[in-house]
């Protein structure tokens, strides 16, 4: 009899499980303020799953709120956790402007062209290297990953102080770019970010979550 009573008691209580809180439609046994809907304890007003925030959820929330710049400054760009991190640097230290949770952007998947165009001060380079011709008002040439005799070496990213190639010749989604010229503050002795330098404090690096 004791075993039977214990079994009935178990059926009457919700099964906490790891998450979400499971229950029985016949004998819900949900905590106060919750109702049993579809086998899960949910808020009676909204029907929302009352699953407690798990470790992974908390980690994602923490990362989205965490500054992407090593110095804790800079500014967020777009809605996917990317940041514009200003500061001077010499080769191969561009990546040190990014926080440990972030890295120089590898492409524009986390940033829209509108996000880039909204940056009003400084140019923030990504890891995307290429080459553009000098006619920024009507660019006709853009090399992606290399440069030729018809173009000047450049880094793609977001900001002002460079130019914007046509959408049809964007490089890994980026239209905005800045040529490796002393006047621009950007120098490069090789075709990747580790060979880049920046002498203007309002320029910097475009840092996105790893």
| 57 within a domain of the structure (yes/no) | no
Which residue has better confidence, 189 or 64?
A: 189
Q: Are residues 108 and 46 in the same domain?
A: no
Task: For residues 106 and 152, state if they share a domain.
Answer: yes
Q: Are residues 79 and 44 in the same domain?
A: no
Torsion of CA 62, 65, 71, 74, to 10 degrees: 160
Say whether both 82 and 113 belong to one domain: yes
For 79, counting Cβ atoms within 10 Å of its Cβ (0-12 exposed, 13-18 middle, 19+ buried), the class is exposed
Residue 201: which domain range?
62-209
Return the DSSP state at 172: T
Percent of the chain with pLDDT over 90: 60
> What pLDDT, in 10s, does the model give residues 27-58?
667 777 777 776 777 776 554 444 454 554 44
Closest C-alpha to 205, from 101, 72, 74: 74
Whether 78 and 25 share a structural domain: no
Please give the average per-residue pLDDT across 149-175, as a whole number: 93
Domain match, 160 and 99 both: yes
Identify whether 47 is part of a domain.
yes
Indicate if 98 and 185 belong to the same structural domain: yes
Long-range CB contacts (within 8 A, 24+) of 31-40: none
Out of 34-38, 54-58, 89-93, 146-150, which region has the weakest mean confidence (pLDDT)?
Answer: 54-58
Is there a domain that residue 1 lies in?
A: no
Does residue 48 sit in the same domain as residue 87? Answer: no
Same domain, residue pair 99 and 175: yes
pTM: 0.69
172 and 83 within one domain: yes
Does 177 reside within a domain? yes
Q: What integer is the mean pLDDT of 84-108?
A: 97
Residues 30 and 122 in one domain: no
Q: What is the pLDDT of residue 34?
A: 77
Classify residue 210 as exposed, middle or buried by CB count within 10 Å of its CB (0-12, 13-18, 19+). Answer: exposed
Total structural domains in the chain?
Answer: 2
Tell me if 162 sits within 8 A of 206, measured CB to CB. Answer: no
Residue 39 lies inside a defined structural domain of this protein: yes
Question: Are both 30 and 67 inside the same structural domain?
Answer: no
Residue 18 banded pLDDT, cuts 50, 70, 90:
very low
């Amino acid at each position: 009899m004791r075993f039977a009573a214990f079994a009935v008691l178990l059926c009457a209580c919700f099964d906490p499980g790891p998450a979400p809180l499971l229950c029985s439609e016949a004998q819900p046994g949900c905590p106060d303020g919750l109702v049993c809907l579809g086998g899960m304890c949910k808020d009676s007003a909204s029907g929302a799953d009352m699953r407690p925030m798990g470790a992974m959820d908390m980690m994602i929330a923490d990362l989205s709120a965490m500054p992407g710049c090593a110095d804790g400054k800079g500014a967020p760009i777009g809605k996917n956790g990317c940041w514009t991190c200003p500061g001077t640097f010499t080769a191969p230290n561009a990546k040190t402007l990014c926080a440990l949770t972030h890295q120089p952007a590898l492409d524009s998947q986390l940033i829209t062209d509108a996000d880039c165009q909204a940056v009003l001060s400084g140019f923030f380079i990504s890891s995307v290297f290429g080459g553009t011709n000098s006619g920024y008002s009507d660019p006709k040439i853009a090399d992606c990953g290399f440069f030729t005799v018809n173009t000047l070496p450049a880094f793609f990213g977001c900001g002002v102080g460079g130019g914007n190639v046509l959408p049809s010749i964007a490089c890994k989604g980026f239209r905005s770019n800045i040529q490796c010229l002393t006047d621009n503050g950007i120098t490069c002795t090789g075709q990747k970010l580790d060979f880049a330098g920046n002498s203007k404090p309002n320029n910097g690096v475009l840092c996105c979550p790893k």
